Amino acid sequence: MIILGSSSPRRQELLRLIVPEFQIEPAQIDERALPILPAPAYVASLAAAKGAELAERFPAATIITADTMVSFDQQLLGKPRDRQDAFATLQMLSGKVHQVYTGVQIQRPGHAPKQTVVATQVQFWPLSASEINAYLDTGEYCDKAGSYGIQGYGARLVERIDGDFYNVVGLPVSTVARMLNETQK
Render pLDDT for 129-138 as a digit per residue (tens, 0 to 9).
999 999 999 9
Can you give the pLDDT at residue 185? 61
What pLDDT does residue 34 have?
79
pLDDT for residue 29 is more than 90: no
How far apart are alpha carbons 167 and 102 in whole angstroms? 6
In sequence order, what are the beta bridge partners of 121?
A: 99, 162
The answer to whether residue 26 scores a pLDDT higher than 70 is yes
Of all residues in the chain, what percent carry a pLDDT higher than 70? 98
CA 94 to chain centre: 21
In order of start, what are the domains of the chain with their CATH numbers? 2-183 (3.90.950.10)
Mean pLDDT over the full length of the chain: 94
Give the model confidence (pLDDT) of 113-167 as tens digits. 999 999 999 999 999 999 999 999 999 999 898 999 999 999 999 999 999 999 9
Closest Cα to residue 120, out of 143, 97, 104, 93? 97
Q: Is 85 a catalytic residue?
A: no
Is the pLDDT at 107 greater than 90, yes or no? Answer: yes
Distance CA 46, CA 44 (A): 5
Catalytic option among 30, 67, 73, 137:
67
Q: Distances in Å between the alpha carbon of 75 and those of 38, 39, 92, 123, 152?
A: 8, 8, 11, 16, 24
Instruction: Using the predicted structure, report yes or no on whether residue 176 has a pLDDT greater than 70.
Output: yes
Residue 96, Cβ neighbours under 10 Å: how many?
Answer: 12
pLDDT in tens, 76-94: 998 999 999 999 999 999 9
d(CA 128, CA 24): 40
Q: How far apart are CA 167 and CA 78, in angstroms?
A: 15
3-state DSSP helix/strand/coil % of the chain, to nearest 5: 40, 25, 35
pLDDT of residue 142: 93
